Amino acid sequence: MENSFPVNKKKDTAEDIDQQIKKFQDSDGLSINKLNFGLWYVEHIKQMRLILIFILIIISAISWIYTIYSFTYYFVRGIKEDEIMIQQLIETKGLDHSYLVQMAAKDLVIYPAQALLSTNKKYDLLVQIKNINLKFWGKFDYYFLVNGKKTKQQSGFIFPGESKYLFVLAQDFSYQPTDVQLVVENSKWSRIDRQITNWQDYYDTHLNIINTDVKFIPAGQNELSQKLELNQLSYNSYNKTPYNYWFIDYLILFFSNNTVININKYTLTDFMSGQTRLIQLSWPGNIGRVDEVKIIPDINILDKNIYIKYKGKGAETL
């Protein structure tokens, strides 16, 4: 019998062996790739050590240079600067009590309070206050003390350098009160520059409420007064700010010979940016001759809850 062998048997066997070697996987997970990496690591371990030592030398050199520079700077200039600072603290007596008092917010300036006849033995109580602090704004509680009797406690606020009026309306008294005092409690002061970078710009932008076309007709000079003594007031209020407000309070002062003779209050709700609203009021009582009417918006522009939020393109804006 004649044996015949394939001509390419040796070649096929070599290829098979090469494929088998590449597919070799030890039972412990050792593969040919891992063997190749181990061989490469052994061949290059000396070079890797040299690179690591070089990097450590550079880091050490930088650290020593910084340390030497810091000590040199301190001995050359730092000691003198510390001596100057200590001397300045000694001269200003440090943060002693008098210094802290000087830096703290000053109390409100409170002018004499007054009682104004409203109608039917009811009186309005009014007082002007002033915040002489230019870097502090305040929140507080207050009430009026009238002949030993307290009115209902209310909350107030005042901005840096601001003068404003506090009031309560329609208090019952059998006679005109003569002893009226304002009592302020629970005052809390905050530095405005820690909240607002440019306070004046913020104030002008958020309180740009313009009141025009003010018309006041006193009782006895309008058709409604034929049966009742009714005063009438109307004006247009324009929200020139870029903000929408849930509400705005208006304090309305009536003057005669530069003296306040009557006051009133009106609250406007849902006042949108760019909107003009006509406001009309009527109330009983003969307040006499009026030379001037002042309408003062009273709103805490630092309270985020007063703003109606709306969504613009890609952002939510107040």
Return the HEC string of 11-32: HHHHHHHHHHHHCCECCCCCEH
pLDDT tens for each residue of 234-283: 999 999 999 999 999 999 999 999 999 999 999 999 999 999 999 999 98
pLDDT tens for each residue of 69-81: 877 877 777 677 7
Give the whole-angstrom CA distance, residue 219 versus residue 226: 9
Same domain, 209 and 135: no
Virtual CA dihedral for 35, 36, 42, 46, nearest 10 degrees?
-150
The verdict on residue 270 lying in a domain is yes
Same domain, 80 and 66: yes
The verdict on residue 139 lying in a domain is yes
Structure confidence at residue 37 as a pLDDT band (50, 70, 90): confident
Mean local confidence (pLDDT), 45-68:
87
Same domain, 306 and 237: yes
What is the total count of domains within the chain? Answer: 3
Residue 184 belongs to domain with CATH number: 2.60.40.3230
Same domain, 161 and 263: no
pLDDT of residue 286: 82
pLDDT of residue 198: 94
- Of 153, 149, 145, 151, the closest CA to residue 170 belongs to 151
Q: Which domain holds residue 148?
A: 105-194
- Of 134, 206, 195, 124, the closest CA to residue 163 belongs to 134
The verdict on residue 158 lying in a domain is yes
The verdict on residue 26 lying in a domain is no
Same domain, 60 and 162: no
Task: Among 58-62, 208-212, 235-239, name the one with the lowest average pLDDT.
Answer: 58-62
Cβ partners under 8 Å of residue 119, min gap 6? 283, 284, 285
Please say which residue of 149, 166, 194 terminates a domain. Answer: 194
Same domain, 204 and 302: yes
Please say which residue of 152, 174, 194 terminates a domain. Answer: 194
Residue 247 belongs to domain with CATH number: 2.60.40
Same domain, 138 and 167: yes
Residues 226 and 282 sit within 8 Å (Cβ to Cβ): no
Same domain, 190 and 122: yes
pLDDT tens for each residue of 83-112: 777 776 666 555 565 555 557 889 999 999
C-alpha to C-alpha distances, 191 to 143, 156, 157, nearest whole angstrom: 25, 17, 14
Same domain, 135 and 183: yes
C-alpha to C-alpha distances, 56 to 47, 50, 152, nearest whole angstrom: 14, 10, 75
Please say which residue of 177, 194, 211 terminates a domain. Answer: 194
Same domain, 302 and 206: yes
Are β-strands 292-298 and 230-239 bridged in parallel, bridged antiparallel, or unpaired? unpaired
The verdict on residue 17 lying in a domain is no
Structure confidence at residue 298 as a pLDDT band (50, 70, 90): very high
The verdict on residue 230 lying in a domain is yes
The verdict on residue 76 lying in a domain is yes
pTM of the full predicted structure?
Answer: 0.65
Same domain, 189 and 205: no
Same domain, 239 and 154: no
The verdict on residue 207 lying in a domain is yes
